[in-house]
């Protein structure tokens, strides 16, 4: 065949191409982007709106509902999820997954801007869209720590570090956490204003007008044009103080006459500490498509230089570097890869050192092609793609083993090396192509899995398919060439002593068992069917868990004080937890965040929004702490804090794959909050009484008391005081109002807000309104207490909504040694029996929802895969019977896969299910060779039984070798402590063992029972 002859004839050209591929693939290993986990970009966008002082009910009416009405009408909206707290609305706008991320991001920004102009109330402190993409995960987290440095000093140092890190080309953003923004405070004295009959509005208007920068236009002078600059903004705090508020009796009244003006910091909303020491957190993110190890080398130089310049009372501690995790993960997988290569090489010994050398050359060539294809697809080198290459390692040698073993067999029959290379390759050409096609069909559908789960897993099938396609071309084009140069002409030899020994063992054992099975074909098939049925009965015992927890030596502690706890009370509780953590020897760092979540350092966990009654501690263990030891530490801490007085303390592991809050989640929908809370209490008790649940959390059971200001509208009207002015004055006194900005020349022109309020501490208290005055339309001042009364009013601590409906959540985790699926099914059955009022219903969230989205369309993919298998086999064999014989091997592989999962204690999962699909392709690949060779022997004149026996015995060794190479390549992954990838290897190894042992007996038997029609032919392989 010309295609096979060409590389042999033009061997010098071929070697140059091979060298180019090797060099290109090798260089890409060091230059292509590296990451610990695959990039996942989903078109969902959190919107944060902060309106200080508003209760959840007010936020629902004033902010949430207008936003829902606006965004709910957009195209391709999949879901709107809203969480409402005091003064905060967090709305997640989720589009259909196929939507374009960039265009939808711009759409959300545009619509939020329009909502601020048209729908939302005045006084919104912040309204922003948070961009969620892989480049927003921090690759660096450091802490500037000091117990006695001033805020100004810490701000100056953190700004300098931010500027220096920002100069690193690979760094995308640098963010400072735990330091409030500076501002200019204008604390007006209401009594003085009342004495001078100056309305507070006049003060604010005066500051605003003086701060306006109005261009003067341009003038012509001769041939030139000059821009006219007017007075512009304030240039100093003294200028602000000298702002004229009013004039009386020829005397100007300035701002400093009625107010204290000074620079300060905004009240603390995010308190941060490292290992109990007060500090500021600095994080950095990386631009897309850059090697993280190179970035680390660049920023480490900056950090070392910056450390050398720090004052004696300030330290800079780098407590998290993503590059270390990436390097550790990739190094571990690299070691697994080398071990796998060693095991693969051991399995090649029966071929002899010359044939083994041919196959050894094929391995790096095939993987180099796979790396080139992975890079061309725009994917990174991460844990999933490396696992793909490890899986491929056991597969890429298959074609080369089969080809080189067949060439050697032709040489032993007396043909020259040149003749044997061409005839031996041609004999199994279509079988090799068919094998490769089945493998592609097995892995290709995994590239098109929907939603985030599909995007997460995608680099694995791309790595496998690229390598397998490369191995096919190497086996058909390169191996014949290498065989002519390396193999030795040994006519009539039976191979080396290892090969001879194995052939003898095969003849004395396997051949005997096969002969007995062929004599009782029906009984053999019945026994195989019983074994398969037993395996199916074991599947429910395995349970199901969508994605496992991370084995990384780190976890989170989340602290939820009682509703309405202020930030300082939350901080006091977190210090108690810190003391407990400091006593655990295995803990290296613990980063405390009060009032906000830890910056985003994990690919599927976003930073929690601002909330005073919340704290989160990011705990990092020593690098040598094993996954089992981590779980033990977490369980000990969980039990210690189980009945913690005055707060709920949860110990949470990092999860792999698609993020979920907890495995068990019941959502209750309805209109009335009281009814929803009543139903939630029933569900809470139901979960607590369900076997296997732990840490049940009913977030709706908490209520809070609001201080409601009731305005006597009739009295206000009688005195000529506008109600809106009363509301605005109260807001000014409690929260302050930003009326202008000041470009501070001492801070490089940084814009500082000018905030008007009244004298008070860091936070307003109940007496803040005692001495506040409000003016009527004639400028007369009246104590505000004349028009308002304060009353306590109960309200929900928070409100949740999904798709414009109120919803409450009741969550639970699953105890160790219990299956997630078993507990979830039990809960769902009980929920279906629960009677609910008209207009109220429930749905299961958590793992149930994630499973539906991850496996959405998976059934269709399996059906398509099955028909593609059949189509390829029918195309190759031209007969449906041969196709059925090949496909009969799949149930035999499932037997071993289920048993292997049961022995190792792994549940069925997303990854193990993918392993089953991949296993089918590998099994079919091996069986194609057997059925194809049996057909060839029958074409040469053998009867069915003799052809089945001889083909099975001859092909047994290459099939065993290819199976052992696949198992050898996967063993290090199966031994791995990474629960994300080890089930994949366990499934394939178990399936290959059972299918090899069982199908080598069952396949010839099935062939005998339903033999395909074969026409004898007189010519062979010219």
Q: Tokens 């028009």 label which residue?
A: 787
pLDDT at 348: 66
List domains and CATH numbers for the chain. Answer: 2-31+348-546+855-1009 (1.20.1640.10), 42-132 (3.30.70.1430), 182-213+232-265+705-768+776-796 (3.30.2090.10), 551-654 (3.30.70.1430)
Helix (H) or strand (E) holding 944: helix 944-975
Q: In this predicted model, which residue has the larger pLDDT, 332 or 789?
A: 789
pLDDT tens digit string along 454-503?
A: 788 889 899 999 999 999 999 888 888 988 888 876 654 555 566 666 66
**Spatial CB neighbours of 43, under 8 Å, sequence gap ≥ 6:** 94, 95, 96, 97, 99, 100, 101, 104, 105
- The residue-averaged pLDDT of 259-265 equals 92
Find out whether 793 and 704 touch, Cβ atoms under 8 Å. no
pLDDT at 312: 92
d(C-alpha 42, C-alpha 21), whole Å: 35
* Residue from 838, 949, 950, 935 nearest 878 by CA: 935
**Spatial CB neighbours of 921, under 8 Å, sequence gap ≥ 6:** 438, 439, 440, 441, 442, 443, 869
Min mean pLDDT across 137-141, 279-283, 624-628, 808-812 is at: 624-628
pLDDT tens digit string along 787-808?
A: 988 888 888 888 999 999 999 9
Half-sphere exposure of 896 (CA within 13 A, CB side): 24
d(C-alpha 839, C-alpha 297), whole Å: 60
Min mean pLDDT across 46-55, 365-374, 559-568, 967-976 is at: 967-976
Q: What is the DSSP letter of 544?
A: B
Predicted confidence (pLDDT) at residue 1018 exceeds the cutoff of 60: no
pLDDT tens digit string along 541-596?
A: 888 877 788 888 999 999 999 888 999 999 999 999 999 999 999 999 999 999 99
- Sorting pLDDT into bands at 50, 70 and 90, what band is 251? confident
- Sorting pLDDT into bands at 50, 70 and 90, what band is 80? very high
pTM value is 0.81
pLDDT tens digit string along 901-941?
A: 999 988 888 888 888 878 888 888 778 878 888 888 888 88
Q: What is the DSSP letter of 134?
A: G
What are the tokens at 682?
Answer: 């029933």
Q: What is the mean pLDDT of the chain?
A: 86
pLDDT at 955: 77
d(C-alpha 929, C-alpha 963), whole Å: 13
d(C-alpha 726, C-alpha 201), whole Å: 11
SS3 of residue 951 by DSSP: helix
pLDDT tens digit string along 188-244?
A: 998 888 888 888 889 998 998 888 776 667 777 777 777 666 666 788 899 899 999
d(C-alpha 69, C-alpha 527), whole Å: 63
Backbone angles phi, psi at 510, to 5 degrees: -60, -45
d(C-alpha 230, C-alpha 207), whole Å: 17
Burial class (CB in 10 A: 0-12, 13-18, 19+), 379: buried
Length of the chain: 1022
Beta strands in 797-906 (DSSP E): 799-802, 805-814, 841-844
Find out whether 183 and 754 touch, Cβ atoms under 8 Å. yes
d(C-alpha 176, C-alpha 308), whole Å: 20
- Sorting pLDDT into bands at 50, 70 and 90, what band is 736? confident
Positive or negative, the Cα torsion across 72, 77, 81, 87? Answer: negative
pLDDT at 490: 62
- The residue-averaged pLDDT of 57-70 equals 94
């Amino acid at each position: 065949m010309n295609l096979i002859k060409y590389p042999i004839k033009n061997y010098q050209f071929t070697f140059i191409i091979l060298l180019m591929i090797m060099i290109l693939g090798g260089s890409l290993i060091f230059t292509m982007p590296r990451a610990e986990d695959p990039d996942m970009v989903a078109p969902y966008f959190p919107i944060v709106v902060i309106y200080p002082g508003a209760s959840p009910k007010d936020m629902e009416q004033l902010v949430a509902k207008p936003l829902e009405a606006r965004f709910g009408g957009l195209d391709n909206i999949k879901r709107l999820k809203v969480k409402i707290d005091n003064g905060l609305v967090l709305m997640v706008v989720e589009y259909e997954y196929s939507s374009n991320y960039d265009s939808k991001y711009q759409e959300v920004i545009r619509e939020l801007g329009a909502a601020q102009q048209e729908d939302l109330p005045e006084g919104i402190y912040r309204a922003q869209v948070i961009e969620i993409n892989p480049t927003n995960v921090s690759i660096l987290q450091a802490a500037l720590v000091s117990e006695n440095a001033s805020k100004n000093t810490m701000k100056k140092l953190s700004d300098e570090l931010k500027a220096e890190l920002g100069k690193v080309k690979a760094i995308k953003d640098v963010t400072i956490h735990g330091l409030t923004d500076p501002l200019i405070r204008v604390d007006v004295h209401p009594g003085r204003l009342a004495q001078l009959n100056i309305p507070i509005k006049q003060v604010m208007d005066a500051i605003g007008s003086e701060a306006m920068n109005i261009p003067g236009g341009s003038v012509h002078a001769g041939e030139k044009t000059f821009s006219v600059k007017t007075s512009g903004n304030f240039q100093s705090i003294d200028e602000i103080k000298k702002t004229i508020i009013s004039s009386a009796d020829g005397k100007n009244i300035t701002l400093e006459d009625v107010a204290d003006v000074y620079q300060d910091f905004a009240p603390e909303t995010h308190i941060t500490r490292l290992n109990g020491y007060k500090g500021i957190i600095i994080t950095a993110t990386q631009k897309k498509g850059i090697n993280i190890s190179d970035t680390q080398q660049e920023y480490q130089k900056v950090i070392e230089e910056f450390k050398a310049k720090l004052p004696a009372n300030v330290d800079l501690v780098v407590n998290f570097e993503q590059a270390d995790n990436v390097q550790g993960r990739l190094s571990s997988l690299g070691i697994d890869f080398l071990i796998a290569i060693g095991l693969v090489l051991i399995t090649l010994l029966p071929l002899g050192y010359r044939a083994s050398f041919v196959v050894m050359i094929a391995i790096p060539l095939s993987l180099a092609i796979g790396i080139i294809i992975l890079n061309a697809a725009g994917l990174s080198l991460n844990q999933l793609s490396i696992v793909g290459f490890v899986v491929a390692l056991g597969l890429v040698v298959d074609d080369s083993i089969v080809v080189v073993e067949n060439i050697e067999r032709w040489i032993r029959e007396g043909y020259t090396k040149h003749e044997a290379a061409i005839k031996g390759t041609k004999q199994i050409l279509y079988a090799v192509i068919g094998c490769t096609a089945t493998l592609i069909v097995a892995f290709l559908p995994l590239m098109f899995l929907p939603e985030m789960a599909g995007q997460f897993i995608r680099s694995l099938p791309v790595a496998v398919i690229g390598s397998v396609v490369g191995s096919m071309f190497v086996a058909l084009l390169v191996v014949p060439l290498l065989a002519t140069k390396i193999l030795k002409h040994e006519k009539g030899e039976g191979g080396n002593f290892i090969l001879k020994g194995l052939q003898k063992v095969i003849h004395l054992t396997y051949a005997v068992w096969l002969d007995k099975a062929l004599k009782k074909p029906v009984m053999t098939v019945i026994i195989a069917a019983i074994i398969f049925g037993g395996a199916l009965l074991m599947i429910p015992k395995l349970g199901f868990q969508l994605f496992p927890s991370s084995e990384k030596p780190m976890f989170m502690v989340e602290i939820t004080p009682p509703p309405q706890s202020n930030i300082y009370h939350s901080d006091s509780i977190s210090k108690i937890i810190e003391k407990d953590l400091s006593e655990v020897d295995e803990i290296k760092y613990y980063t405390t965040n009060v009032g906000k979540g830890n910056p985003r350092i994990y690919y599927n966990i976003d930073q929690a929004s601002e909330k005073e009654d919340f704290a989160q501690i990011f705990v990092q263990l020593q690098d040598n702490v094993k996954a089992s030891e981590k779980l033990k530490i977490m369980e000990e801490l969980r039990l210690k804090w189980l009945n913690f007085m005055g707060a709920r303390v949860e110990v949470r592991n990092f999860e792999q794959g698609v993020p979920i809050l907890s495995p068990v989640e019941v959502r209750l929908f309805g209109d009335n909050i009281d009814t929803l809370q009543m139903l939630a209490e029933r569900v809470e008790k139901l979960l607590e009484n369900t076997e296997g649940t732990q840490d049940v959390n009913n977030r709706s059971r908490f209520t809070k008391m609001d201080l409601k200001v009731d305005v006597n509208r009739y009295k206000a009207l009688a005195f000529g005081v506008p109600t809106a002015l009363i509301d605005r004055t109260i807001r000014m006194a409690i929260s302050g109002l930003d009326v202008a900005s000041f470009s501070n020349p001492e801070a490089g022109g940084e814009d500082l807000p000018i905030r008007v309020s009244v004298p008070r501490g860091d936070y307003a208290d109940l007496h803040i309104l005692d001495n506040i005055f409000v003016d009527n339309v004639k400028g007369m001042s009246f104590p505000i207490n004349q028009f308002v009364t304060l009353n306590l009013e109960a309200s929900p601590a928070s409100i949740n909504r999904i798709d414009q409906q109120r919803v409450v959540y009741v969550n639970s985790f699953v105890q160790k040694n219990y299956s997630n699926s078993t507990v979830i099914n039990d809960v769902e059955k009980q929920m279906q029996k629960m009677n609910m009022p008209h207009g109220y219903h429930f749905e299961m969230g958590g793992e149930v929802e994630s499973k539906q989205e991850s496996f959405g369309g998976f059934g269709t993919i399996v059906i398509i895969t099955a028909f593609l298998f059949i189509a390829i086999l029918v195309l190759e064999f031209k007969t449906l019977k041969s196709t059925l014989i090949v496909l009969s091997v799949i149930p035999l592989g499932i037997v071993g896969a289920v048993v292997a999962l049961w022995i190792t204690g792994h549940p069925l999962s997303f990854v193990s299910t993918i392993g089953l699909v991949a296993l089918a392709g590998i099994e079919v690949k091996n069986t194609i060779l057997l059925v194809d060779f049996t057909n060839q022997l029958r074409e040469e004149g053998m009867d069915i039984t003799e052809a089945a026996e001889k083909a099975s015995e001859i092909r047994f060794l290459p099939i065993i070798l290819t199976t052992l190479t696949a198992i050898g390549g996967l063993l290090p992954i199966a031994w791995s402590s990474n629960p994300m990838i080890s089930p994949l290897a366990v499934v394939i190894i178990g399936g290959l063992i059972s299918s090899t042992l069982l199908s080598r007996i069952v396949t010839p038997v099935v062939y005998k029972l339903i033999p395909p029609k074969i026409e004898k032919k007189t010519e062979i392989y010219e």
